Amino acid sequence: GQNIDQPTEMTATEGAIVQINCTYQTSGFNGLFWYQQHAGEAPTFLSYNVLDGLEEKGRFSSFLSRSKGYSYLLLKELQMKDSASYLCAVRANTGGFKTIFGAGTRLFVKA
């Protein structure tokens, strides 16, 4: 079967760095996405990894290790507006391509 695990909640301080982890078990792995979702709003695309390593995009970076079934999203120089849910999603080919979402990690940024 397919399974995605991420912490339910995290709290961090403005200006700090936070790492949100995601582990997955799936067959036919075909890429991993991170989305940000503010309360009452649409999820928005942050990053995509399909090869091992780190992808950097401004204050946000995403890492993937396919052999370990592991990814993390790294947020630097945290701002209050970064308080949101962060969704890890895996695209898999299981007799057809499908994107499976984790339950999301709620990040609280405090002053």
Partner 1 sequence: ETGVTQTPRHLVMGMTNKKSLKCEQHLGHNAMYWYKQSAKKPLELMFVYNFKEQTENNSVPSRFSPECPNSSHLFLHLHTLQPEDSALYLCASSQGDRGFHSSNQPQHFGDGTRLSIL
Residues that bind partner 1 (CB under 8 A): 4, 8, 30-31, 33, 35, 40-45, 48, 50, 87, 89, 91, 93, 96-104
Nearest distance in Å: CB 88, partner 1: 10
Sheet strands (E) in the chain = 3-5, 9-13, 18-25, 29-37, 44-49, 53-57, 60-65, 70-75, 84-93, 97-101, 105-110
The answer to whether 8 and 86 are in contact (CB under 8 A) is no
Which residue lies nearer to partner 1 by CB, 65 or 97?
97
Which residue lies nearer to partner 1 by CB, 30 or 83?
30
Which residue lies nearer to partner 1 by CB, 32 or 75?
32
